[in-house]
Structure 1
């Protein structure tokens, strides 16, 4: 992939407005700690690992980053520990996130990041060597096929997707708000999300070539390689 300067790009329209400077997620990033949860309509709570996300990349993270190829786009970069680690290694890396607090935190760590959705055009679309979907970001948008198709368009032909998957046989789509402990009602609107285990990801990944699955410290990962794009720009399915 050719060199580019992500910092010169302007934020694209369509960034969700619910992620304000006062939302519970922004507050957690400012303090570096939770508790913070995604809350399903039936009251089930999924804890978010804010402390780990706000820390520096750990050994499991670094091992994932060792697998990255070329220029890396971290989708849903959060507070930026992975972007900062890759930048410190001298790699070409950009984080994107819909949360202004996450983008600001990433920049403070020394990484480059833009406020935008994965479904908005990033710099160098179609020329990234690796896309990361870590920390639950495999569920962005709540539609597995749409997300995988979008990632395929971000990557160069034969590019690498590395995703962190949910435990077990998870294959769930839902709408969830972010809430703090004891919140009676969410302060932000619910957004579509999903949880996929590795088996579900591989079922949805038609047109992708499996490039490895592994576990480390009770976290689960899968790597997929995008299909080649024929003349005309549409990828083979």
Structure 2
């Protein structure tokens, strides 16, 4: 099984809950050191929260949403009249995104994608800087997708989180106390304090840091 397929399977349980039952189960991203990070599944399936409304307003041209999940960002961009493409390795996520009216492809973000070098904006939100376990490689991939002067809008972890890279898996549990563990995959987490050196190494400059309700977003401009 490829790394992309394992990653898709890892999040499928969290993405697969029917809309009317979201919240009946709890899901955590469990890092190799045992740290458990709650996954905001209800948020993923709902409308955009104000922080993300402000983020998508920074997109004024064709935008690719990397790791689009159920497609809430992609759909919101399309509703504003922008060309928007969601990309996710999970077939279930892509199906949900299309049900929202978004254009979405089931692809590995590190593989070939339409419009390479011509996108105005790329999104890596909801922890998606972790995809593949190598943030530098992922941001360099974003640079390849963007036209010169294009922007990457990236969510990072809180200050002081540093850089963590390793294996992770998703654990899902209901009210009966039983838990189901998904497959292990490569993942990463990057604190916002590392935005400058990471961006520089990937061919970007930091244009803005956007804190919002305990979340941290950065706007990077491709050199």
**RMSD, aligned CA:** 2.0
1:42/1:22 CA distance change after superposition, 3 Å: closer
**Looking at both structures, which has the greater relative contact order when contacts are Cα pairs under 8 Å and sequence separation is at least 6?**
2
- Give the TM-score, by structure 1 length: 0.83
Look up the match of 1:115. 106
Q: Which has the higher helix share?
A: 2
Give me the whole-angstrom Cα distance separating, in 2, the residues matched to 1:104 and 1:121: 20
Indicate which of 18, 23, 28 corresponds to 2:17: 28
Please say if residues 126 and 156 of structure 1, whose CA atoms lie closer than 8 Å, have aligned partners that are also in contact. yes
Deviation at 1:81, TM superposition (A): 0.8
> 2:188 pairs with 187, 190, 194, which one?
194
| Alpha-carbon distance change, 47 to 166 in structure 1, aligned in 2, over 3 angstroms | same
Change (3 A) 1:117 1:42: same
**1:1-237 counterparts in 2 under 5 A?**
16-18=4-6, 19-20=8-9, 23-28=12-17, 31-33=21-23, 34-170=25-161, 171-181=163-173, 182=177, 186=181, 188-206=182-200, 207-227=203-223
The C-alpha deviation readout for 1:50-81, integer Å capped at 9, x for no partner, is 11111011211110001113100000011111
CA apart distance, 1:43: 2.5
Higher strand share: 2
Q: How many correspondences in the alignment? A: 213
- Is the deviation greater in 73-82 or in 173-182? 173-182
Paired residues of 1:103 and 1:114 also in contact (CA < 8 A): yes
Contact 2:172–2:180, Cα closer than 8 Å, also in 1: no
What are the ranges of 5 or more consecutive residues in structure 2 without an aligned counterpart?
A: none
Q: Distance in 2 between matches of 1:15 and 1:113?
A: 20
Measure, in 2, the Cα distance between the counterparts of 1:216 and 1:22: 25
Q: Give the superposition deviation at 1:23.
A: 3.9
CA displacement at 1:32 relative to structure 2: 3.0
CA contact (8 A) 1:142 1:174 kept: yes
Structure 1 spans left out of the alignment, 5+ residues: 1-13, 228-237
